[in-house]
Amino acid sequence: MTQPNLSYQGSKLRVYFGSTVLLCAMISSALIFGFLVLICSIFPFAVRYRVANLWVKFVLVIAKIFCGIRYEVEGLENIQDIQTAIVLSKHQSAWETIALRLILPRQTALLKRSLLWLPVWGWALAALKPIAIDRKQQRAALKTLLKQGKACLDEGLWVVVFPEGTRTAPGEVKKFSAGGALLAEKTGFPVIPVAHNAGRCWSRNSFLKYPGVITVKIGPAIACQGKKAGDINAEATAWITEAMQDL
C-alpha cells in the first residue's frame, strides 16, 4: 500500500526514486548477506551476528543517502551500565526492527515465525537466535517467549519486544500485551522502555519513505525484582506514552 505523507512538501520524484532504490537495495543485499550469515553458521554466534549487522548498517546508509532518513538517539546513558535487559519498544514501522540492532547491545527479538520461511533471509534470521512465535497460538507463544527469552537473557542477549504486537500509525495508541512484562517478572531482569517516531518517515504498510530525522528515546531502566507484570507494563506504558507526546 502506498500512503502519501500529507505534511511533506518536498519533491515527490525524490521520494519515489529514493524509495525504489532503497527497496531494491534491501532485497538484493538481503540475499547476499543472508547467504553470508548462513555460511557463517559454522562459526560462533558473534561472527554471524556481526555479519548481519553489516546489512543493517548498509540499509541505514542507503536510507540516509537516497531517502534522506537520518536518526538521533537520546538516553544512551540510561543503558551504559546495564548488562542485560528486556526492551519494550514502540512499534510504528519496519525501521526500528532494523535500527535497534545497532542502537542497542547484542540482542534477539520476538518475531512472527512465518518470517523464518522467507527464502535465504528468513533462514538467516533463524541462525540469529530469534524468539519465533505463532501469534494465533497465544498460550504456546507466551510459553515460548518465557522459555527462550530466559535462555537468551541468561546468555547475555537483550530481548527486544514490541508489546503492541503490530505496527501502529503515528498518534495511534494500542494496549501493550503483557508478554514482555511477564518475562521481566519471571526473570527479574530490568525493562528498558523505548519510544520513537519512525512512522513519520518510514510508514507502516507503505512503499514510500520520506526524508526527516527519526528520534529514538531510551528510557531509564525499570527495576523488576519483586514486581508483578501488570505493574511493570503500566510503568513502561506510562513512560513511552509521555515520551511519544514530546515526539
Which of 169, 184, 194 is CA-nearest to residue 227?
Answer: 184
For the stretch 124-175, pLDDT in tens is 999 999 999 988 888 898 999 999 999 999 999 999 999 998 888 888 888 8
Domains of the chain: 69-246 (3.40.1130.10)
pLDDT tens digit string along 80-94?
999 999 999 999 999
- 6 band by pLDDT with thresholds 50, 70 and 90: low
pLDDT at 199: 93
Are the C-beta atoms of residues 111 and 141 closer than 8 Å to each other? no
pLDDT digit string, tens, across residues 168-197:
888 888 889 999 999 999 999 999 999 999
Q: How far apart are CA 186 and CA 154, in angstroms?
A: 12
How far is 75 from 194, CA to CA, in rounded Å?
9
Are 94 and 236 a contacting pair, CB within 8 Å? no
Question: Tens of pLDDT along 23-65?
Answer: 999 999 999 999 999 999 999 999 999 999 999 999 999 999 9
29-109-184 Cα angle (round to 5) = 165
Answer whether 215's CB lies under 8 Å from 168's CB: no
Residue 1 has pLDDT above 80, yes or no: no
